[in-house]
A = this chain, B = another copy of it.
Amino acid sequence: MPPGFTVTTETCADYLELDQKLAPGLLREIDQNISLLEEETVKKFGATDNPLLVSVRSGAAVSMPGMMDTVLNLGLTDKSVAGLTELTSNHRFALDAYRRLINMFGDVVMGVDHSHFEKSFDRIKKRFKVTEDADLNKDGLAALVTAYKRVYKKHTGEDFPQDTELQLRKAIEAVFRSWNIPRAIAYRRINNIRGLLGTAVNVQSMVFGNMGDDSGTGVAFTRDPTTGRNEFYGEFLINAQGEDVVAGIRTPQPISEMNSWRPDIYKRLLRIKRTLEIEYKDMQDIEFTIERGELYMLQTRTGKRTGAAAIKIAVDMVKERRITQKVALLRVPADDLNQVLLPSFNPAAKRHVVTIGLPASPGAASGYPVFMAEGAVARSEDGDSVILVRRETSPEDIHGMHAAAGILTSTGGSTSHAAVVARGWGKCCVAGAGELIIDEKRRLINVNGRKITGDDRISIDGATGEVMLGEVEKRPPVFTPEFKTLMKWADRNCDLVIRTNADTPHDSRIARDFGAEGIGLCRTEHMFFGEKRIMAMREMILADSTAARRRALKKLLPYQRRDFTKILLTMKGFPVTIRLLDPLLHEFLPGDQKSQRELARAMKVRLDRVKRRVNQLHEVNPMLGHRGVRLTVTYPEILEMQVIAIVQATINCRRKRMKVMPEIMIPLVGVDAELSMLRELTEQTINDVARNMNYRGELDIPIGTMIEIPRAALTADEIARHADFFSFGTNDLTQMTLGYSRDDSGSFMPSYLDKDILKNNPFQTIDADGVGQLVRTAVEKGRQTKPKLHCGVCGEHGGDPESIVFFQSVHLNYVSCSPFRVPIARLAAAQASLLEKQLTLFG
């Protein structure tokens, strides 16, 4: 262990098993460790009858909102305050430490609202005619202690405990208890922190950063947690205790300024920083205190960082030969790439800057200001983009922070609560914008005389700290060399091919630039919503004979041919899986009376007929209705038109020596006879078009199906006889396998996640035991029939790192995801391959 540490830790795994009641055995162990601390105290203060002063803090590997963090100054009582005064010859200091204890203990251990202490403080300041707490003299502090004790008694019904052991026990208990408060549980869920039995507790002997101007306290990261640059990054406050920095109550000095204050200490700190990084092989988040010129390290742990920083640190550490490429790949959470894939503001766009704060977490966000967490949740659920605007944030705000597009605070530095949480999520944050005067009640911001209300959109720039009026134009992200390096390493290490889900040349282009090697799902339904197209589509739906349907479809053919040509060319050299028409015909008809009347008029049919058809197409459970292959079985002419368009587009491109590679995918197959019948029709149509166009080359267009109905997975051996490939539609497969309607699951899903009935939302991360079992079965059965059967996934799970680990384990050939998730999928696929090899190695 590096020098300067005096730490004692106990995990509470056994404790939690005992259902929140203190385990006597454990407490005995804690007691023993506290005896060791007592020895330290003796050494330090030179006398045995003097107070044992300790801090108690959570020993959880990551700090969680709602978790009790620290109680300082434990062990102070009316009696030991005298001892401390004697030892330090500083009565004012001793009283200051005591009032801090009563406040902190009352607040975090006993649940007395902080505001009660604040009001009491304000009254004392008024009585003693001072404005800053630093200005309170000995008598003022003595009065404050008395007042705080009164607040404590009023709200807890007990006197402030004068038994130091009781103080300690209660503080330890509070840490353990805080593990299971709803806010902490919510945080773990949002951040997918799982498999932990509980928190540890650290009991540490006190050192004081508030013993005068030769004392201080600070927090720092061994590298810049925002950019990842190898620069010491932190803040400190002279004559202060730790929570003053973290809570953002006073604005601290940058760490580099320590060099001019006490160069000897600064040099020592730099040396320790280096030692810690060598020891832990990763960027560290450290806390330290200087007591009367002596440096003490309070804590070190792996530091939270932005996605950009994670990439840079990982790649740099490979260059510094601290870690291997494979470790670097495993060290960047794939989802964190999201942050560097986020757009930023266009530098060329006009900005109306009203003030500048600290650039606390990168990104660019625009939205309506909201002033309370609940409002942020409600308004974002209504579909508005919102910016949460607070003086400072606290763990109570966690839900609102998650819901907001960005976070803006008027106090606190770059290590304040708002900044740390926002960086963890890759959410844009501007902190400490001191010129903002925030009026929460009237929901108003005053900034340099200008008023901003909840109805004025604002923009915040996490890269510059700028706060701007209106919505500023954004631009796509720019990729750093480290990002490109990491992606190169990822591609070198992964087995799965990454494709994308794209229906337009624009999306295809973005995805290709992001490294997609093909389109796994090109939906065709969106192509029919253009003004002229939708009319032809509706004509087709309203037709009452095959001939009339064919006439309408003929009008759609040139549009489809053009669409397919463009997409095939954008992806040339890579496969493009085109899914034939899938949705309910209902979705193409207007639902309201007015539009129906317009449609009737435009199509020169009676309103009655339009209405009748709309009613006829209505379904009780549309999810399980007349769509996908069922449409094609009843109206094969739709398939014919789409296949003709695909083949004509293909032949046209091939004649220009463009290597376009379409694949035809028939959705919603549940019975092998559906596929065999339509495969035959598809093949026949392909041959007809080739013959009509006098094309003699090999067309070789694979025909496959989506596996998205449980029965299809169960009978995959039969279905594989007619399929060149399987593409798992895990969205629908999840709906049917679990019997959850995605549109309706909001009514019970939150409660299922809260009660831990489900570990994840199965629409985000694949349910490996249920849905995954079907995927595994289908791959195995399919490959029994055709050993080389090409299998991929095109549901939203294709872009989810945890799901990708599963898809790697069943040996799919590819995953397909939305364009912006392609790099995430590439990294996740590499991680999945590496993890699988590790497992093979060790298991």
Contact = CB atoms under 8 A, between A and B. Distances in A.
A344 to B, nearest CB: 37
A124 to B, nearest CB: 42
A624 B626 contact: no
A172 to B, nearest CB: 31
B620 A739 contact: no
Contact of A626 (B708, B748, B769): B748
10 contacts: A619-B741, A620-B622, A621-B623, A621-B741, A633-B757, A634-B747, A634-B751, A671-B752, A708-B739, A709-B738
A723 to B, nearest CB: 16
Contacts of A769: 711, 714-715, 718
Interface in A733-758: 735-741, 743-744, 747-748, 751-752, 755-758
Interface stretch (A206-214, A237-245, A412-420, A770-778): A770-778
A755 B624 contact: no
B625 A751 contact: no
Nearest to A718: B769
Interface in A693-752: 708-711, 714-715, 718, 732, 735-741, 743-744, 747-748, 751-752
By Cβ-Cβ distance, the 10 closest A-B pairs, closest first, are: A711-B770, A621-B741, A624-B741, A620-B743, A626-B747, A709-B739, A673-B757, A619-B744, A710-B710, A621-B623
Interface string A581-594: 00000000000000
A786 interface: no
A710 B732 CA distance: 13
B624 A740 contact: yes
| Interface-centre pick from A623, A718, A774 (highest chain B CB count, 10 A) | A623
A677 interface: yes
A550 B471 CA distance: 50
A619 B742 CA distance: 10
B756 A673 contact: yes
Contacts of A633: 748, 751-752, 755, 757
Nearest to A618: B744
Interface of A: 619-626, 630, 633-634, 668, 670-671, 673-674, 677, 708-711, 714-715, 718, 732, 735-741, 743-744, 747-748, 751-752, 755-758, 767, 769-771, 773-774
A668 B714 CA distance: 21
A770 B717 CA distance: 12
A512 to B, nearest CB: 33
A770 to B, nearest CB: 4
A626 B751 CA distance: 12
Contacts of A671: 738, 752, 757-758, 770
A634 B748 contact: yes
A773 B710 CA distance: 11
A199 to B, nearest CB: 24
A744 B624 contact: yes
Contact of A739 (B670, B758, B774): B670
Contacts of A626: 744, 747-748
A707 to B, nearest CB: 12
Given A621-B743, A711-B739, 7 more contacts: A619-B747, A670-B738, A671-B757, A673-B756, A708-B739, A710-B774, A736-B739
Contact of A741 (B620, B732, B744, B774): B620
Contacts of A673: 755-758
Nearest to A628: B739
Contacts of A738: 670-671, 709-711
Contacts of A767: 711
Contacts of A674: 757
Contacts of A709: 737-739
Contact of A770 (B621, B710, B735, B773): B710
Given A756-B673, A770-B711, A623 B624 contact: yes
A770 B670 contact: yes
A399 to B, nearest CB: 20
Contacts of A732: 739
A714 B624 contact: no
Contacts of A735: 621, 624
Nearest to A769: B715
A711 B708 CA distance: 14
Contact of A773 (B625, B630, B714, B758): B714
Contacts of A710: 710, 736-739, 770, 774
A798 to B, nearest CB: 21
A682 to B, nearest CB: 16
Contacts of A630: 747-748, 752
Contacts of A741: 619-621, 623-625
A732 B710 CA distance: 13
Nearest to A735: B624
Contacts of A771: 711
A753 to B, nearest CB: 11
Nearest to A739: B709
Contact of A621 (B708, B715, B744): B744
| Interface-centre pick from A709, A711, A738 (highest chain B CB count, 10 A) | A711
A620 to B, nearest CB: 4
A621 B743 CA distance: 8
A625 to B, nearest CB: 5
A774 B711 CA distance: 9
A613 to B, nearest CB: 12
A711 to B, nearest CB: 4
